[in-house]
Amino acid sequence: MTKTFALPTSSRQQVLDITDEVAEIVGDNDVSSALCTVSVPHCTCAVYINEHEEGLVHDVMALVEGIVAGEDWHHDRIDQNAGAHLRATLLGNSVQIPVEGGNLVLGTWQRIQLIELDGPRHRRVNVTLIGG
């Protein structure tokens, strides 16, 4: 089963905590023991799991910004967003979380986050549950 929710972003680069939206979908689907995959059907945003603390969010964005800076990328000749594609490639477009008793099994500080790399855009997030 895959359910999708929409997520508008408002900045060129931005980190959004999507844990509550994912947990709500998982909770609505009466699964006891399952695997939840959260994925984005896009080429210039990514998802990751880590603490959603303001300072760390800034650090993540600074790190990601610096990864592919200062190069003459071929894709920039088409639409000037090679950096966003490359950052998304390195970060990945999905994460997996176990589900037990209808709840996401995450560590105390772990949050599921979408990182926008070429916004603002209208993004979609897929939540796929495997098992029951």
Contacts with Zn ion by CB under 5 A lie at: 79, 81
What is the 8-class DSSP label of residue 2?
A: E
> What is the residue type of 3?
K
> 24 vs 79, which CB is nearer to Zn ion?
79
- Cis, peptide link before residue 120, omega less than 30° from 0: yes
6 vs 78, which CB is nearer to Zn ion?
78
Rank residues 83 and 112 by Cβ distance to Zn ion and give the closer one. 83
**Shortest Cβ 78–Zn ion spacing (Å):** 6
Contacts of 118 (CB under 8 A, 6+ apart): 12, 44, 45, 81, 84
Nearer to Zn ion, 41 or 98 (CB): 41
Kindly state the smallest distance separating residue 7's Cβ from Zn ion, in Å. Answer: 20
Query: CB of residue 46 vs Zn ion: minimum separation in angstroms?
Result: 14
**Shortest Å, Cβ 85 to Zn ion:** 5
Q: How many CA atoms lie within 13 A of 108 on its CB side?
A: 0
Q: DSSP character for 29?
A: T
DSSP structure class, residue 122: E
